[in-house]
Amino acid sequence: MADIIAEMTESLRKPITERIKAEFTTLAHQTASAMVSKHFSKYNMHTQGGVIKMTGPGYLEIEGMLDKLFGSEKMKEKMQKFFDENYDRIFAETMEEAIKHGIRKEIFDDARTMAGEKAKEAKQ
pLDDT tens, 11-30?
A: 888 888 899 999 999 999 99
Residue 104 lies in a domain: yes
Residue 78 lies in a domain: yes
Residue 83 lies in a domain: yes
Q: What's this model's pTM, rounded to 2 decimal places?
A: 0.47
Boundaries of domain holding 102: 74-124
DSSP letters for 45-79: EEETTEEEEEE-HHHHHHHHHHHHHHTSHHHHHHH
Q: What is the pLDDT of residue 112?
A: 82
* pLDDT tens readout for residues 27-70: 999 999 999 999 999 989 898 989 999 999 999 999 999 998 88
| 53, 42 Cβ separation under 8 angstroms | yes
Segment 78-97 mean pLDDT: 95
Overall number of domains in the chain: 1
Task: Provide Rg for the chain, Cα atoms.
Answer: 33
Residue 47 lies in a domain: no
End-to-end CA distance of the chain: 91
Residue 97 lies in a domain: yes
